Amino acid sequence: MTTGPQLLYDSPKARQEVDHHWQASGGPHIVRILDVYENMHHGRRCLLIIMECMEGGELFSRIQERGDQAFTEREAAEIMRDIGMAIQFLHSQNIAHRDVKPENLLYTSKGKDSVLKLTDFGFAKETTQNALQTPCYTPYYVAPEVLGPEKYDKSCDMWSLGVIMYILLCGFPPFYSNTGQAISPGMKRRIRLGQYGFPNPEWSEVSEDAKQLIRLLLKTDPTERLTIAQFMNHPWINQSMVVPQTPLHTARVLQEDKDHWDEVKEEMTSALATMRVDYDQVKIKDLKTSNNRLLNKRRKKQAGGSSASQGCSNQ
């Protein structure tokens, strides 16, 4: 995936996506919008978004292509610091991205001096209006509270950071669907209960600092999860130059599981249409003006009860 011109049919949701991306554009490690044009396409109004071209490809594809060249824990820490800088900027602007996943992390070029950047603001939301209540997510990188009815906020992005960091350090995700479904009941339960491990041999040489940081990011209670400021201040991130240069199994595992990895991405893509339910599109009726029969029945009952009690008190 590379960005460049993107066409969106004009709608309030499309304009919101452009607004959020425009607001974030120019922030560290965020794909820049160069220009936006209003146009017509097949007789429909549309927005043409011109973004910087990201020619370096996706984060994990790049690691996968390394072959025998070792990918180290220190490199993983530097990548996580870069992603953290993007999230830190967004959260400082009161924007939650809500779809931080490998496909949305792209390199500017194939060169060694290439910069990793975050893109795709299709599900971004301002966090200043209401606590986020929209379960719209990608299954493998979804926070536990998104799976249930609970409200969620910026801590959703922190959960995603934990999942991406986990994969960076071993080559496979912490939660699996064993049924072939994009998100199975068993996987849903494991995510909600925070059931994952650090199996050997992939994790045997990974530092305890790294494992501790993952535990703090994958907390099932969003109030206990690290904030982006705490994440950026963690020694594994802010002292990444002293993180051990331990060779990891990541590149080998990604290469061996290449077919599975592609399946995961395909499952996620096909699941997006059915799994992203945007409650913002549901108009919640004001109870005072609602004409629901059961509600009217309850109102009459309450009114009768209150007049009876008033009668008692007047005697």
What's phi and psi for 21, nearest 5 deg?
A: -70, -40
In b/e form, how buried is each residue of 244-276, taking b as 16+ CB within 10 angstroms? eebebbbbbbbeeeeeebeebbebbeebbeebb
C-alpha to C-alpha distance for 194 and 144, rounded to whole angstroms: 8
Q: 99, 153, 157, 209: which one is catalytic?
A: 99
Contacts of 211 (CB under 8 A, 6+ apart): 198, 203
Residue pair 119/163 in contact by the 8 Å Cβ criterion: no
Region for residue 41 given its phi and psi (left: phi exceeds 0; alpha: psi -120 to 50; beta: otherwise):
beta
Alpha helices by DSSP H, listed for the chain, are 12-24, 59-64, 73-92, 144-147, 155-170, 185-193, 208-217, 228-233, 235-238, 250-256, 258-275, 293-314
Helix (H, G, I), strand (E, B) or coil at 105: strand
* Overall residue count recorded for the chain in this entry: 315
What's phi and psi for 126, nearest 5 deg?
A: -75, 140
Hey, what are 269's tokens? Answer: 């893509």
C-alpha to C-alpha distance for 226 and 224, rounded to whole angstroms: 7
Helix (H, G, I), strand (E, B) or coil at 271: helix
Sheet holding 44-51, edge to edge: 5-9, 44-51, 33-41
Would residue 99 show up in a list of annotated catalytic residues for this protein? yes
Cis peptide before 201 (omega within 30 of 0): yes
Active site residues: 99
